[in-house]
A and B are shown apart, each in its own frame.
Chain A
């Protein structure tokens, strides 16, 4: 009992990565905020917190899928901005919503094809699509504005039985991701490919008959689609298109994923860790806002956390 608890806290003997410690951190921050401030432990603030954290949670789950195969998607932020810009195009929702996901899947497809077929490093491939998508977003919507279809706004702002819709978004997305990662053959393949890449035997999964190229391409498509879901959610929250709303999101998602104990070299990590990591980020933002910390310093602190968390991960590879 004690031993297994220790193993969870130290992340030993597990493919889920180190997620016990972030959970402890999240609980400690919540405890501290409850004691220090009166506003924190109210139902209203907690629901607010969930709604604030939701885009990051959704996008971070997408990032997790890519990180598990040893990749990295830096285009997440621009896909989110792009989604809000497309949703605010003043077209009927029945056209816009499928279009958003098709476009996101297409961006993911380009990333995946460039990486697997043309041997481009994931960081370079996604960096360049980030710029292309950002440019297209700026053409569609140079400054924030426009109106998002009613149905998207309603889906985010309503409530059911006193529980706001964002909570249900969270449940649905996490269940879908759970099914994808742990309840499907695809999830198993992701871990197999990632484990091989992390240990330096990139053909390991292929030798067991797992089509690595197709699965890697699919991982980038899945990541972009999750980013699009986050974009739809954000569009409902801000009620307009905004070309800058996804700014720095790619780094926040990477921070959340790393904070949740997922190894950036691939193969080791888990959904619960990522969700916890995203929650810790949201709690920190919430706490720093309550403590009146300047937004610029908040950015710096986020960078520091990213640096510290990734600095503590051990990996064999040097460089990228």
Chain B
């Protein structure tokens, strides 16, 4: 085992985020099982469904780069979905809802950041607790029933296409590119990288560690709010269950993309393909007739497998 791991070729292979391999394997499976599924129109529809997850992954990877985690996305998505669909703001326009969503995400993200960065509470506990509180509140406010309809404009926007590519997918790619620029070309990106690598060393080199962590979480909250808007557009109705499993999937996709608490050679595109993997995975599972429990097991195995893949990589000298 050790000799294999020390081999330069193996080590180089281990540096590639697992998501690329998984993506290729899933693509090959699909190509063998149902070649006719692989055309732009059908894949576009499937990939379009994964866009909220893909956007949430962007926030997740930023916080995971600073050795933190954000599981509050489910609560944020549910709350924003409730705001839009409950009719508590009659006659409000699209910009109003966008601003409201962004403000919500900002406040929750800032709160997470404060608790994690300043109060130093365990990130898992804080964000899970925030999510539970939000879910409980939304379910109470809507008494457990789906609230109402979403203004038609949301779904219309979601259904548009640009040069036969669904707009949400383009939007996702654009956002990914933005986050990539943010992480690789700005001072904030450097701060994130150094805090993730070694927070103590970063502190002594003059990196504002606390501020970086708080900013990363605020950014994650904002991105979750954007994901919530897209998700609401995609289902077009109010729901008390929407998006609750997305944070876990986002963690899974991010780990699959080679970003595990701190370092990450995959950067932004590894997790991007991680999210794509889940799109393909669901297609493959549906094609092979595997239902809900099988999907849960697959999720678990993928997270564990990717984390072990990473753990083995770190172990090697």
Contacts and interface: CB of A to CB of B under 8 A. Distances in A.
* A interface, over-half SS: helix
Report, as a range, how many residues of chain A touch the other chain.
35 or more
A297 interface: yes
Given A135-B300, A139-B293, A296-B144, A124 B307 contact: yes
Interface in B44-94: 66-69
A320 B68 contact: yes
Given A120-B308, A132-B297, A319-B66, A310 B248 contact: no
A137 B300 CA distance: 13
A131 B67 contact: no
B130 to A, nearest CB: 7
B122 interface: yes
A135 B296 contact: yes
B295 to A, nearest CB: 7
A112 B120 CA distance: 26
Nearest to B141: A296
Given A114-B307, A319-B213, A131 B296 contact: yes
Nearest to B67: A319
Given A125-B307, A127-B303, A320-B69, A311 B261 contact: no
The range of chain B's interface size is 35 or more
B309 to A, nearest CB: 9
Nearest to A264: B122
A254 interface: yes
Contacts of A294: 140
B38 interface: no
A40 to B, nearest CB: 24
Interface string A290-309: 00001011111111101100
A316 B210 CA distance: 12
B297 A135 contact: yes
Given A139-B293, A303-B133, A316-B120, A121 B301 contact: no
Interface of A: 72, 114, 118-121, 123-125, 127-139, 142, 248, 251, 254, 258, 264, 294, 296-304, 306-307, 310-311, 313-320
Interface of B: 66-69, 115-117, 119-126, 128-137, 139-140, 144, 199, 209-210, 213, 248, 251, 255, 260-261, 292-304, 307-308, 310-312, 314-315
24 contacts: A114-B304, A119-B310, A119-B311, A120-B310, A123-B124, A131-B297, A131-B300, A132-B296, A132-B301, A133-B300, A135-B294, A135-B298, A137-B293, A142-B293, A251-B129, A258-B125, A264-B122, A297-B136, A300-B134, A300-B135, A315-B122, A316-B120, A318-B67, A319-B67
